[in-house]
Amino acid sequence: MAPRTTPRPVGTVTRGTTNPNRLRRQDRWIAAVHGPALRRSAGPPVAVDLGYGAAPWTAVELLARLRTADPRTLLYGIEIEPARVAAARPYEREGLAFRHGGFEVPVPGEVSLIRAANVLRQYDEDQVAAVWERLCGRLAPGGLLVEGTCDEIGRRHVWVALDRTGPRTVTFATRLGSLDRPSDLAERLPKALIHRNVPGEPVHAFLRDFDRAWAAAAPFASLGARQRWIRTARDLAADWPLTDGPRRWRQGELTVRWEALAPRA
């Protein structure tokens, strides 16, 4: 009898760069925005940190933050590089496990959350749609895929949130004290958008208007960067379909509907 073989994971090995607390802004947003859906799950909600990198910090931290929303949450860290899985295994505990795999997401059943941070940035733009479709196909009803990019120490993030029907929103998040102007976030656009930041594309127009609103809100800087950001968001909302409000803006976040920024065909 031929030996049984394990299917090859879908995807390619990426750099695996990671740092503790790098994804804290994304974690907090997920727990706040997706927390109600987690709590509605009939059983313990299952989350996946896909491509957590050379060390397991982001998976450990994501579980802790999701459990502030639902203490039942179970989390799998998935990595395509076997050595990274072996290095993470000592961190396993109740509710946290690490597995070798890729975009096939080798966990049982449908999942409530897949987070893929700084993974697709290292792929080609024309590969993104197929990966999104594959990952969204693993989501439970009401599930969420969060895919995006951040800098090395987590000061600047941009991510796309998708459900089983496709992309829904784009969130810009930053440490406000480090921000010169909102378009500084352009270098952290997810792969689906980063090459579209050119004249004639919606994301370019959005970042242009974001900078203009930020400049117009300069008088609020005397009250602090947070108040300036909130005023900027209020002005931007007059022309762009923002989905959040002051509670999230105060965190240095701003979320806009995907269809307003989607690349032109």
The pLDDT tens digits for 148-186 are: 999 999 999 999 999 999 999 999 999 999 999 999 999
- Using the 8-state DSSP alphabet, how is residue 93 labeled? B
Given this model, what pLDDT does residue 1 score? 47
Given this model, what pLDDT does residue 229 score? 98
Between CA 260 and CA 61, with CA 171 as vertex, the angle to 5 degrees is: 155
Give mean pLDDT, residues 249-255: 97
Give mean pLDDT, residues 60-86: 97
All residues at 6 or more sequence positions from 140 whose CB lies less than 8 Å from its CB, including other chains: 41, 109, 110, 111, 112
> Distance (Å, rounded) from C-alpha 23 to C-alpha 25?
6
Q: Cα–Cα distances in Å, from 178 out to 7, 86, 156, 230?
A: 45, 36, 9, 16
142 falls in which pLDDT band (50, 70, 90)? very high
Tell me: pLDDT of 227 over 70: yes
Given this model, what pLDDT does residue 20 score? 87
pLDDT in tens, 92-107: 999 999 999 999 999 9
> Distance (Å, rounded) from C-alpha 170 to C-alpha 148?
9
Please give the mean pLDDT across all residues of the chain.
Answer: 95
Q: Judge whether 106 and 138 are in contact, CB under 8 Å.
A: no
Q: How many CB atoms are located within 10 Å of the residue 147 CB?
A: 25
Given this model, what pLDDT does residue 3 score? 44
Tell me: pLDDT of 21 over 70: yes
6 falls in which pLDDT band (50, 70, 90)? low
> Distance (Å, rounded) from C-alpha 139 to C-alpha 85?
23
Given this model, what pLDDT does residue 182 score? 98
CB-neighbour burial class of residue 260 (10 A; exposed 0-12, middle 13-18, buried 19+): middle
Tell me: pLDDT of 74 over 90: yes
Interhelix angle 57-66/24-39, rounded to 10 degrees, is 40
Q: Provide, rounded to the nearest whole percent, the portion of the chain with pLDDT above 70.
A: 98
Given this model, what pLDDT does residue 17 score? 78
Tell me: pLDDT of 2 over 50: no
Q: In the structure, how many helices (H) and strands (E) does the chain have?
A: 9, 8
Tell me: pLDDT of 210 over 80: yes
> Distance (Å, rounded) from C-alpha 167 to C-alpha 169?
6
Which region among 120-124, 156-160, 171-175, 226-230 has the lowest average model confidence (pLDDT)? 120-124
All residues at 6 or more sequence positions from 102 whose CB lies less than 8 Å from its CB, including other chains: 9, 10, 11, 78, 80
